[in-house]
Amino acid sequence: MNIINEIQQAYNKANIVERIIYINVILFLITVLFTSFAINWLALPTSFNNFLLKPWTLISYAFIHQRLFHILSNLLVLYYIGNLFLNFYTKKQFLNFYFLGAIFGAIVFLAYYYLTNKLGTPLGGASAAVTCIFVGIATKIPRYSVQLRFIGSVELWVLAAIWVSLSILQLANPINGGAISHIGGALLGFIYASQLNKGNDIGKWFENFLDYFANLFKPKQKSNLKTVYKSNKRASKKDIEIPKQKIIDGILDKISKSGYESLTQDEKDFLFRAGKK
């Protein structure tokens, strides 16, 4: 339980990039333990008809990986490039790039297999989403220099070009149709960042959708009526003090004139209760 609590605390302290990484790692472990289930229900099928039966795979595929090298390469790039991304864009825009890159990559993947009638394996991995973020920030700051060990300073656009070129080279392998989704993510990343440079946020609709979905699970704020009631109660209590004091003064005057024995039982009880308070 301590390990689970530590993981939960680390997740709560993490930024949005690190949280996405945590989710990918957890689902990778699930994929390793339950490979058949993960591929059948979370990976994106090549057949459009099969996709219609599992529409959630349009997004879920971007969080599962089968190979250790695959997840390591994706998440290492996501960690460094994603945190650089947050220096120039908001965390909500980060989510826009990640999810829209994954969705557009999935659409390109489905269209590729639908139009070519080829056979292939289901798609899994965050490559399209990561590529969208990579190309997006490279479009924003192409001349930004990155220091690489044993290599030196390399401009960001060069690294992004190499990353995308590796995906293009994979297209030569007819079995690896998943590489086409990377190209889709790269294309969306370039278009999205270019539009943001012009002041147009083409992913704002998706941000609004996420906000609406998140608000459904937020606890409702407590009403201030109770506080207002209490303050009114205090005010009314203060107003009561004045006539109460007049009654006491009247009883005391009666005692001074006629003595205590002249009081009625109600007046004696009233005076007794007032003395206790």
The pTM for the full model equals: 0.75
The secondary structure of residue 202, as a DSSP letter, is T
Phi/psi of residue 118, each to 5°?
A: -85, 160
**What is the reported pLDDT for 150?**
79
In angstroms, the CA 268 to CA 260 distance is: 8
CB 112 within 8 A of CB 170: no
In angstroms, the CA 249 to CA 270 distance is: 12
* Residue 78 CB partners (closer than 8 Å, separation 6+): 17, 20, 21, 126, 130, 133
The secondary structure of residue 61, as a DSSP letter, is G
Question: Where is 148: in which H helix or E strand?
Answer: strand 145-148
Phi/psi of residue 155, each to 5°?
A: -70, 150
**What is the reported pLDDT for 118?**
81
The secondary structure of residue 223, as a DSSP letter, is P
Start-to-end C-alpha separation, the chain: 54
**What is the reported pLDDT for 272?**
65
Write the CA distances from 29 to 62, 117, 196, integer angstroms: 14, 33, 36
**What is the reported pLDDT for 120?**
82
For the chain, 277 residues long, give each residue's pLDDT as a single digit of tens. Answer: 577 777 788 888 889 999 999 999 999 999 999 988 888 999 999 999 999 999 999 999 999 998 899 999 999 999 999 999 999 999 999 999 999 999 999 999 999 999 988 878 899 999 999 999 999 999 999 999 988 887 888 999 999 999 999 988 888 776 667 889 999 999 999 999 999 999 999 999 988 888 887 787 776 665 454 544 444 445 454 454 556 677 777 777 777 666 666 778 777 777 667 665 5
